[in-house]
Structure 1
């Protein structure tokens, strides 16, 4: 794999220099994954990779060592090639009148990707992308539900989050049978649930309206829907943080950003650490536990600016 090396973190290069180099096209980034040359080629950052896309969800597939993302601009799921380029993994069913409005991205054990469509109260749904065959919208779901978050549980189930404008939000277990989806509520009375993660028996939710990260018992919620205030509040932020999508490491550590442009780490006990600040809005995040690095989907500072994937080392 032929690449041109840019200065690494060990050489003391700043975030700003990385961005100037990448956006200015002075050099190409050498960001190889293990499949492109071994573990010694892993870029742990800090690195900025410009991409012409409207980013939302990110998903790191540990088995494949590949990063996938949703792109609203093209209504596609893309895959990072491990350098400065991205390919289309799947073109999704035609976007509805409200737009692509893609949310969090997850994958089940059979290789099927699932992502949400927000839908603005008219076109909300979940899109399935099987390993073989054409992508499709799940039938049977209420279109007025504005869905953003979706993730898997340790036992292989799907969980999604939604809210209704002027009403309340919920977390549901999503069952899929023959192309049809059904939602069974797990947590009720939320404001605007956005990020979702499940670690062990912990169902963890970021609520953008309350600016809280709360953990609930998945076992209890499956027996009877829980109220929003029945969980354990792990961390409280401010509404200016605009909490967005979330990812969890294998040890239960949480990572999230938001419209406020700050990237956070939240430990299992609720200790908060700032990993980066002063960025444009942060959408999805994904964690590569094996290589101790975090990926963040960052919007351009201006609407005409390119988005970027930023790699953050986790030490």
Structure 2
């Protein structure tokens, strides 16, 4: 009898344990995907952002000059149109969420018609007046208090591009803005990332990432010249940074790299068609990356990687 009772208790414990494991495995919410995933998207994507509150993913689409959204990156739908310029190709920048939840975006402009826009809801968009439209804009990030960091460059004929990092301070109601340069001496600056007081800018023309003190740049009465590279890296593009200060950006022809705070470079993946925008979804422990199809054709993807 004692043996039967012991076996019965052991069986009950096993069933309870199995049930608990099954319940945990079936939980929804913010479980981290165990392995990298890729989701096809019918678009020519570039920038990407994730709304932390609910995990909604937003991407730009150069095919339609619009922003698309998805609750989970599995299927994207129209969110907002970005005004086009007659006779000019569509080219949109990185996306960034501002103070009150507005989604900020830039139009590249090809040297004549760049612009900065605020999207406050589905197809509710307004341009900021003030920023110089001759500056070709790609990188954009909100730093709070109605302030944006923007990367831009000017290209004249066959001369090398000349670019900088600027601060745009804007009125969210009047949609007016003023711009002042913070960091100069760059070639073709593209991505921006901020971690603590460090601001990082990727420079495609010089194949490097520069680093500066954001507080020092903001406090300076005039623009500061860039002084050397933080790291050398081939073909960097748009960037993001995680809570540990690790940067993520395109590297080489088919790579996506991570750069540790000490400058150590590692390859996260080396099978991209063309890595573009990247975004960290901290609440769900995911890194999102755009894998854009090449000009010769193919399918574009939004890809995810678990953050360790």
* Interval containing the TM-score (normalised by the shorter chain): 0.7 to 0.9
Query: What TM-score results when the alignment is normalised by the length of structure 2?
Result: 0.83
Q: List structure 1 segments (4+ residues) > 6 angstroms apart after TM superposition.
A: none
Say if 2:187 is the partner of 1:196: no
The equivalent residue for 2:83 is: 93
The equivalent residue for 1:268 is: 261
**Contact kept? 1:196, 1:205, Cα under 8 Å:** yes
The equivalent residue for 1:129 is: 119
Q: What runs of 5+ residues in structure 1 fail to find an aligned partner?
A: 1-35
Say if 2:104 is the partner of 1:120: no
Match of 2:30 among 34, 39, 47: 39
User: How far is 1:161 from its partner?
Assistant: 0.6
**Contact kept? 1:149, 1:196, Cα under 8 Å:** yes
Residues 32-70 of structure 1, C-alpha deviations (whole Å, 9 max, x = no match): xxxx94234x43431111111011001122122221111
The equivalent residue for 1:221 is: 217
In 2, the alpha carbon distance for the partners of 1:250 and 1:96 equals 41
The equivalent residue for 1:186 is: 182
In 2, the alpha carbon distance for the partners of 1:83 and 1:212 equals 30
The equivalent residue for 1:285 is: 278
SS of structure 1 residue aligned to 2:283: coil
Residues 216-260 of structure 1, C-alpha deviations (whole Å, 9 max, x = no match): 01111112221011x6x332113xxx2110011122211111571
Say if 2:163 is the partner of 1:169: yes
Residues 132-182 of structure 1, C-alpha deviations (whole Å, 9 max, x = no match): 882022222221100000002266621101010045211011111221222
SS of structure 2 residue aligned to 1:255: strand
Structure 1 residues 125 and 258, CA gap change in structure 2 (3 angstroms): farther
Structure 1 residues 135 and 154, CA gap change in structure 2 (3 angstroms): closer
**Contact kept? 1:247, 1:255, Cα under 8 Å:** yes
The equivalent residue for 1:246 is: 239
Two-structure CA RMSD over aligned residues (Å): 2.1
The equivalent residue for 2:4 is: none
In 1, the alpha carbon distance for the partners of 2:146 and 2:206 equals 29
Query: What TM-score results when the alignment is normalised by the length of structure 1?
Result: 0.81
**Contact kept? 1:79, 1:86, Cα under 8 Å:** yes
**Contact kept? 2:80, 2:123, Cα under 8 Å:** no
